[in-house]
Structure 1
Amino acid sequence: MKKDLDRRRFLKIAGTSMGVGALYTVWPSLGRSAEAAELARRLGAKTGEKPTPFTFAQLSDAHVGFDGPIGTRALERAVATINGLPRRPDLVLFTGDLTHDTEKPGEHAARMSLFREISGRLQVAKVYHVPGEHDAGLDGGELFRSVFGPTSYSFDHRGVHFIALDNVSRAKPEVGAEQRAWLAKDLSRFHATTPIVVFTHRPLFDLRPDWEWFTSDGDEVMNLLAPYENVTVLYGHIHREDHHTIGHAQHFAARSLCFAFPDPDKFEDKKAIPFDKDQPFKNLGLRVIDRTAGSAAETVRVQDVELAMSELSGTEGFDQLLKPATF
């Protein structure tokens, strides 16, 4: 039993919720067994880096250009909140719908430019993006690629392999055969215990198909990821927090920076939660890490990238504690 526990004391990705989006911390666990050391060595050989502590943030669904009462205020507040953190994230991942689509000539490009201006205030080393359907649905992602670069790609950071997947640029909501072939080749380079973070826009499982909360070939994508024991999928699109465990994969959705949708288990119709002028940022959130020394060694397993979250929201500054919640 002790040997198995030591093997699992390897890596943790943890996050807490506070405001608009999500912030995660990744760190090696406290296990010092020979087997844990060998896992670290193998991972470093594959990625070229040892797994060392770092923090990254997820923001989603800013919908710059959407005709609503929030405008860009939530995005601007999220940027300021991240910049004010005592421990600055290494990375920020935007999981789609950076902008709201429009057919007015030149207007969509202007909205992307405004998004870049605001997000450019982030004081972090790297910012990565994937498109949402409102970024890429009208032109198959052509404008998005001209502004932000490829819609699917991968990179390594401090011993974790990150994969950006595009499930919105095609005629139907799918990753598609070509991208799946690329994903299979990309994954083939890594050992089964490699920590993998996938970030995309739509959920890669059937969360609520009648609300368009699905990816048509999500099962095929997850089959490619199934051999890997340490997978986290981060997505947006649903404008609310959500957590599902499917096989070895943990799936997490972030709140939006624009408006929120209700719990799909409690409502038949997909309608945004009404805006409350007295609580303008209600249901918009940002996750902030609360790392507790010593706890990681007892709770983390290599095969599950566990994210322990505490939900916070706010009426003025995204900083009013409502209730703790641990998954």
Structure 2
Amino acid sequence: MRDEDQPHDPSRRHALECMVWAGTGVLWTVSGGVPKSLGLLGTAEAAEASQSPFTFMQISDSHIGFNKAANPHAIDTLKEAIGKVKALPVKPAFMIHTGDITHLSLASQFDDAAQIIGETGLETHYVPGEHDLIDDNNGKLYADRYGAGKHGAGWYSFDDHGVHFIGLVNVVNLKAGGLGNLGPDQLAWVADDLKDKSNSTPIVVFAHIPLWTVYADWGWGTDDGAQVLQLLRRFGSVTVLNGHIHQIIQKVEGHITFHTARSTAFLQPAPGKAPAPGPMKVPDDQLRKVLGITRVSVSLGTEPLAITDKTLADN
């Protein structure tokens, strides 16, 4: 049943439109399009919900090469994040990285990231962030590493355990402070990619910049994101994962759940809470509480889909 077909319910409307700044180590489940917190990691409820035959990891914004005051040791915090993945009691099926692998698109930075991330032994699927496309050859270093078998600037799809995954690129020719952009070629490709998928197919979309507008003044959104979201509205379960804003913000709209990931490098301010976005210095003993990784558990044929965010400070 579509949202417009359902009876008006003010409380439901609020649940669909709210944004949730999630706390440390909170496990969310999504049932009937409404997120529900199951409490901190380690609770019996969280343990029960995370038992799934199919899980995958998301990491984002590792910014290898960043060495400013917000985190002079971004390479070390990526190592810690990867250590958390390696220590998981149940091995995920694979990992996705939602962009800004590097800070300056240098070959040495890509090399360092590949070596550290490769220690998981997991297949890893990438989409670029704007920091991955700023080399002297318009992103050639990223394309040479990750572009094989991809379309256009690097968009692609794949299937795993009955779930259809779509990796999108919305950072090409990105202007400072400007919104992301997919472009007509990529939108046409998405329409073609989805045309033979049944409405019951679970869809996971991942990109660097949010596909919905979190905060337009800072460019935290995608100019033509609404067009791809319209293509996704017929599906009963859609999860959209992104990075870029270095903090957890969740939104649910109909059957589409939007979830951002923490960075493994540094924090950014909450939308509108600073003169501009950018690396945010926190006390040294608080840094690992604002960096982290995301685990997604999918139980086909049942509700819910569970998203677990874990900080580097968590045991």
> What is the CA–CA distance in structure 2 between the aligned matches of 1:140 and 1:246, rounded to whole Å?
35
Per the alignment, residue 258 of structure 2 pairs with: 251
Change in Cα spacing, 1:131 to 1:272, as seen in structure 2 (3 Å) is: same
* Letter of the 2:116 counterpart: I
- TM normalised by structure 2 equals 0.74
Runs of 4+ in 1 over 6 A off after TM superposition: 16-19, 22-26
> What is the CA–CA distance in structure 1 between the aligned matches of 2:248 and 2:271, rounded to whole Å?
12
Instruction: Provide the secondary structure at the position in 2 that maps to 1:203.
Output: coil
Q: For residues 233-265 of structure 1, what are the alpha-carbon distances to aligned partners after superposition, in whole Å with 9 as ceiling and x for unaligned?
A: 000000001101123210000000110112215
Residue among 116, 125, 128 paired with 2:125:
128
Change in Cα spacing, 1:271 to 1:133, as seen in structure 2 (3 Å) is: closer
* Matched ranges for 1:164-175 at <5 A: 164-171=167-174, 173-175=180-182
Q: 5+ residue gaps in structure 1? A: 1-15, 27-51, 103-107, 301-305, 321-327
Tell me how far 1:122 sits from its aligned partner.
1.1
Q: For residues 22-77 of structure 1, what are the alpha-carbon distances to aligned partners after superposition, in whole Å with 9 as ceiling and x for unaligned?
A: 99999xxxxxxxxxxxxxxxxxxxxxxxxx82110000000001123132111111
Tell me how far 1:290 sits from its aligned partner.
9.0
Checking the alignment, whether the CA contact within 8 Å between 1:17 and 1:287 is kept in structure 2 is: no
Aligned positions, number = 259
Checking the alignment, whether the CA contact within 8 Å between 1:258 and 1:284 is kept in structure 2 is: yes
Tell me how far 1:319 sits from its aligned partner.
1.4
Q: For residues 248-286 of structure 1, what are the alpha-carbon distances to aligned partners after superposition, in whole Å with 9 as ceiling and x for unaligned?
A: 210000000110112215445324331322334231122
Please state if 1:211 is matched with 2:193.
no
Checking the alignment, whether the CA contact within 8 Å between 1:17 and 1:312 is kept in structure 2 is: no
Change in Cα spacing, 1:23 to 1:82, as seen in structure 2 (3 Å) is: farther
Change in Cα spacing, 1:137 to 1:228, as seen in structure 2 (3 Å) is: farther
| C-alpha RMSD over aligned residues | 2.9
Instruction: Provide the secondary structure at the position in 1 that maps to 2:84.
Output: helix
Per the alignment, residue 260 of structure 1 pairs with: 267
**% identical aligned pairs:** 38
Per the alignment, residue 314 of structure 2 pairs with: 319
Checking the alignment, whether the CA contact within 8 Å between 1:24 and 1:287 is kept in structure 2 is: no
Q: For residues 288-311 of structure 1, what are the alpha-carbon distances to aligned partners after superposition, in whole Å with 9 as ceiling and x for unaligned?
A: 5799x9xx96x53xxxxx4354x6
- TM normalised by structure 1 equals 0.71
Please state if 1:98 is matched with 2:92.
no
Tell me how far 1:231 sits from its aligned partner.
0.4
Please state if 1:141 is matched with 2:139.
yes
Tell me how far 1:232 sits from its aligned partner.
0.3
Checking the alignment, whether the CA contact within 8 Å between 1:201 and 1:235 is kept in structure 2 is: yes
Checking the alignment, whether the CA contact within 8 Å between 2:55 and 2:297 is kept in structure 1 is: no
Tell me how far 1:206 sits from its aligned partner.
1.0
Instruction: Provide the secondary structure at the position in 2 that maps to 1:261.
Output: coil
Per the alignment, residue 109 of structure 1 pairs with: 107
Tell me how far 1:141 sits from its aligned partner.
2.9
* Letter of the 1:129 counterpart: Y
* Letter of the 2:121 counterpart: Q
Checking the alignment, whether the CA contact within 8 Å between 1:154 and 1:162 is kept in structure 2 is: yes
Tell me how far 1:100 sits from its aligned partner.
0.6
Per the alignment, residue 6 of structure 1 pairs with: none
Instruction: Provide the secondary structure at the position in 2 that maps to 1:96.
Output: coil
